């Protein structure tokens, strides 16, 4: 069993909501919110950032992957429920230092796994260096540039998802 998996249980036990507050103080959350708002002025997609400290122990023991949890959160937060099916979720699981991006089908069809994966890897590298807020802000900017390229904003549109990051 790789060391990453061997210690996963203990990372999830030890990581609590205070870890989120330490990694993302109020000022960092405001920076992320501003980055989302700025990005949404350039594209017609709806971006949501969700941050979770750790999974419940039972979910870790059942080997729930960060990707599976991100898909659950995509539904729970109703990111899929936008007028133009233009929702994009950036899910952060701090205990695993993992980033997952889940997008509605139409957006994902154009961007593809490779586009999301490269952004996730750069964000995870920032997390390993302890630069959580900078990693998210940079990731949101990269996602917004990609979305503006493929789905540019034309006129005013509704803001269907809150720009403020969701702490789970």
Distance in Å from the first CA to the final CA of the chain: 29
Task: Determine the length of the chain.
Answer: 168
Report the mean per-residue pLDDT for the chain.
Answer: 89
pLDDT of 1 higher than 60: no
**What percent of the chain has a predicted confidence (pLDDT) above 70?**
97
pLDDT, position 140? 96
Residue with the larger pLDDT of the pair 66 and 153: 66
Rounded to two decimals, what is the model's pTM?
0.90
pLDDT, position 48? 94
CA-wise closest residue to 115 among 72, 157, 94, 144 = 144
Domain holding 147, by residue range, is 3-167
Q: CATH number for the domain including 137?
A: 3.10.310.50
Nearest-10 crossing angle of helices 132-150, 26-40: 10
pLDDT, position 93? 93
pLDDT of 165 higher than 60: yes
b/e 82-108 (16+ beta carbons within 10 angstroms → b): beeebbbbbbbbbbbbbbbbbbbeebe
Distance CA 103, CA 136 (A): 17
- How would residue 155 be classed by pLDDT, with cut points 50, 70 and 90? confident
pLDDT by residue (tens digit) across 10-29? 888 888 888 889 889 999 99
pLDDT by residue (tens digit) across 115-136? 899 999 999 999 888 899 999 9
Full DSSP string of 148-161: HHHSB--S-----S
**What percent of the chain has a predicted confidence (pLDDT) above 90?**
53
pLDDT by residue (tens digit) across 44-82? 889 999 999 999 888 988 898 999 999 999 999 999 888
- Domain count of the fold of the chain: 1
Put the strands of the sheet holding 166-167 in their side by side order: 98-103, 87-93, 46-52, 166-167
């Amino acid at each position: 069993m790789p060391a990453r998996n061997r210690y996963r249980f203990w990372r999830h036990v030890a990581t609590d909501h205070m870890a989120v507050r330490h990694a993302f103080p109020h000022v960092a959350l405001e920076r992320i919110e501003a980055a989302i708002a700025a990005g949404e002025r350039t594209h017609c997609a709806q971006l949501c950032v969700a941050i979770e400290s750790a999974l419940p122990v039972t979910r870790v023991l059942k080997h729930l992957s960060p990707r599976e949890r991100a898909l659950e959160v995509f539904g729970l937060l109703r990111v899929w429920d936008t007028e133009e099916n233009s929702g994009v979720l950036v899910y952060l699981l701090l205990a695993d230092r993992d980033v997952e991006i889940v997008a509605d089908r139409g957006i994902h069809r154009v961007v593809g796994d490779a586009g999301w994966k490269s952004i996730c890897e750069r964000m995870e590298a920032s997390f390993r260096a302890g630069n959580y807020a900078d990693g998210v802000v940079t990731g949101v900017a990269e996602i917004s540039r990609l979305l503006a390229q493929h789905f540019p904003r034309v006129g005013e549109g509704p803001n269907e998802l809150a720009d403020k990051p969701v702490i789970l």
